[in-house]
Structure 1
Amino acid sequence: MAEFTGNPPHRRRLIPEELGLLTSEDLFYHSFGCAAIGMALVSLDGRFLMVNPMLCNLYGFTEEELVGRHYNDFSYPDDREIGLQLQKQAIQGHQRSFRVEKRYVHRNGTLIWVILGGSLVRNEEGKPLYYVTQVQDITERKLNEAIIDELHNKNQLILNAVSEGIFGIDEHLGTIFWNEAAGRLTGYTYEEMLGKNPYFILTGACGADASMSLTNSSPLYRSMMEGVYDCNSNEVFYKKNGESFPVEYMTSPIYDNGRIIGVVITFKDITERRKTEEMLRKSEKLSVVGQIAAGVAHEIRNPLTSLKGFIQFMQSAAVNKQEYYGIMMSELSRIELIITEMLMLAKPQMVRYQSKSIEMIVKSVVTLLETQAHLSNVQINLVAESNLPLVLCEENQLKQAFINLIKNAMEAMPDGGQIDILLRAEGAKHVRVVLQDRGNGIPEDVLARLGEPFYTTKEKGTGLGIMITYKIVEDHNGHLLIESKVGEGTFVTVTLPIHL
């Protein structure tokens, strides 16, 4: 192509017969004028030599107003340095082609985002002549990107303002977002979790088997595979420094056009809540110990009276009979059993889950309350299936729960009566304890509020007993159900998972 002479291109649409008569230069000028994007021939020092109608349209200026002017005259002030760098490289002959995003100012003052691309044209001797540039309007795309960025920033601000830890996992189980609270609670940064599965890391599962897959019992699995919203209030997470802390978390599936593409997990540290619950539990425990102390004292006094009589009888130089020793040892054993149960109940202990017999736990509670039951004219009838499986439990806590339930049953029968307790297996994975009294029953409005703190129908009650009982059963991954009919009595069902 010859050096540009400045003649305007032919802009008339050509018919097919005319195309064969045109030179390559004619075809270039014709394509230049009819191009669907802005085009310009620009000198090495950055002046417009020729512009097409689309470029005029884009900038809002006429051809006469553009030709001869420097393209930086129309650039957004903050982007003029980009144009100066391009011009410098062009003059030095280093820039054969370029493609940049920059901004121009329309005649009406609005901002235009464009992709500016250009190629250097040389003559036959290789001397640089000018640039052929293409200008594509991307303003709408940039506005959309700005809106998306703004929404992303707002969403991030909201996520970071929340006190709960929040993180997202994609369908490949890699982290896609991680808010500041998650980092503050765990000590891990987003960069450290990026691409990894934080659920496995925080629960310590990845240390056991790096290739382990999710099990169908995992809330994360159910959300990812089944689309359910799930919650776990009895989980432990591990910080980066190895410390553990109790958490409550919820999993929610992420949908895109009806397809699950990930899961959001929201969690919070419940250490303080656990401490408060433990304080309430201890308070209620001491209250229970105080209430049954009178009955226990009466129960201890009876064997002590027998022992005292036997000793006095032996001191009077009576004939020594061997059977007296057997009776005395039996009475001493009973005293020891009662005192041991009292101390076990009142003594602060570390929460340590062990495999225990539910039958032995309930029997020890019945032994502890038996005297109080006799004084109240209440008979406790305990029936247990043979070979009941063990449960994984904190024995002292379960005793406290069953003491609360049996005491409530006794108090429901002020004139005396019978309490039936049935222990049986429930399928292959659970043990069930069913407790029935024959009291006056509980009205529906009262039944609906059982478990609320400080809600009680007793004159000197606190309402904490049944609330703590609910919590103890829940902490053992069990279920507590109370059913009652006025005038017929109350059924209490405690279902606990067995230790497989």
Structure 2
Amino acid sequence: MRVTGISSLRLRTLALVLLAVVPALILAVSTAREQREMESRRVREDMLRIARLVASDSDGTVDAARQFLAAVAQIPEIRKRDSLKAETILTDLREKNGFYEEIGATDLEGRVFANTGLPPPDSMRDDWRRAIQTRRFAVGYTTGGGRDTALNFAVPFHDEKGAVAGVVFATLKLDWRREFVRWELPPGSMMTVVDRSGRVVLRYPESEGFTGQALRNEPIVREMLRRPEGAVEAVGLDKVTRLYGFSTLRGALESNGLVVGVGVPRKAVFQPLEVAFRRNLLLLAVVALLAMLAAWIGGDWFFLRQVRAMVTASERLSEGDLSSRTGLHYGNDELSQLARSFDEMGASLEHLSGHYELILRSVGDGIYVVNREGYMSVVNPAAARILGCGPLALIGAHHHEIGIGERFSYAGTGPAEGCPICQVSQSQEGSRSDADTIKRRDGASVPVEYIVTPAVERGEVVGAVITFRDISERLNAQKEIDRAHEEIVSVLAEKRRFYRDVIKSVTRDRLRLVERDEIPNEGEQVLDLPLNTAVDDRNLRHKLVGMAEEYGFSHDVVGHLVLAAGEASTNAVKHATDGRGQVFLTKDRFIVRISDKGHGIPADDLPRPLFQPGFSTKVSLGMGYTLMLELVDRVWLATGVEGTTVQLEKWLHPEEHEDPILKEAFERF
């Protein structure tokens, strides 16, 4: 794995070097493309300029021929059609203007009456007729089948009466080869002249016999006929791609018209650029190779050696050797800082591991860790002591051998129903128990409390941590506490029963100490008010006055009832919470019930607030209960930690409720 990692890093370094070369490669390709485009544009412009110059020279020749023939048409001997004299004059003119091939004159029927050379070809007669019909200068051409093309000129002349009597004509051979050679174009260059019908008038150098053929559908011919002039890249008649420039001989537009095109082979134009491009690519490849070689050799010395040391140290660290260090010299570069950080991390891990071991050894609770398959990977000494064996004997054991939970028994290693550790792996939620058992290696059960917490790594449960405590001593202490509590409760109940009987006897049954559910619920409820503030207390007193008077009590009795109820309601407002005041009416009893949720009166303090005038568990109680016993006929009292309820009864006919036996016993007491 280490070799693969280092090799991968070396390959990545080489990839970075190649990546650095990519922009230079892109720049070279882009530059070569731009140079090709610029060169293509320049050559096409040059070809267009040459074509224009050739066309312009031809146009100048046509204009000179027009002026020359116009002058010849004015010679009297020509106008009189004097054949002998006219031919002499024309021969002299031809000698003086040697660039004309022949000069002659014809009558209206096309009969030549004066000529300086060979008989003109029949194709010239069309030019003569056009000149006679239009009475203008006419231009045509005759292909010689070779390298030269002859231009035919014709101008009508008039007799002495001003009528058209015939035409004078001249033939001029253009030396296209001379025009082509003087530009010193590269090999494979081509000059092509076509007319408006698409017929090839001239092709130089001619090698395949295209001259005279109608090739209107050829790409270059289509381009030349599509517009008067232009520059294009097109496939020539010989299927060679060239950069062409073409222009129309404008003096000939009145007839068929001639278009001259000059082309240079595309390969000849771009060959120097391609050679330079290949040379640049070769240089770039050499530079890239040298850079990769430097990265291969220098990378090993400058950073792969340090990386290899850190990889070795990290592998030792992953195997549990927390003392592993890189052993590198620390400098100011990034790798040195990384090595320093790695070594510091190793030292911190070693320190934390020591603290971790110390905590596991020192903690009194048992702790063990299981992986996802349920096998123990960590066991602290306390857990081993509770389970009755050494920590090393438990490492690698399955947690089912211990089995938390007295209702769980399973000997396999797969998930089991009822196992709290398996449930944590399935639900990903922890669990706990305050009283359960854990099985020791010897088969004995130990009472424990435990917490099972899922071990979560990157959002996935990878195991569980079980913390447990032997609660044998606590359970024994709890049993003692429960037994003592039962005895105390029994004593308090006996004491309460004693107080209850004594209070009943002493008060002549006017005060009854009871439980809350023993207070009688009699009569119709006519009032129910909250008692939380002094305003609630005053409101209750006010309503009691009106209700007691309406019930039929005298003014003094009403005052006694309100005073007694006020004592009870004041206690509820000042010293308790959630107080309530209620009134119930029967045929002969007016009942006021005051309840709250205070702390109540402790059992040991019950006699004194009931029988000792002025005693109170609170400063403000004063003469409360003794006053109540004097002002009403019966008081029901239920008090405890859940609160106090006082029910006051005022009888409409007290004498009817006297118990003579109880009265006699009270007097004897």
The answer, yes or no, to whether TM exceeds 0.5 is no
Please tell me the TM-score bracket, short chain as reference.
Answer: 0.3 to 0.5
In terms of fraction of residues, the more helix-rich structure is 2
**If the length of structure 1 is used for normalisation, what is the TM-score?**
0.36
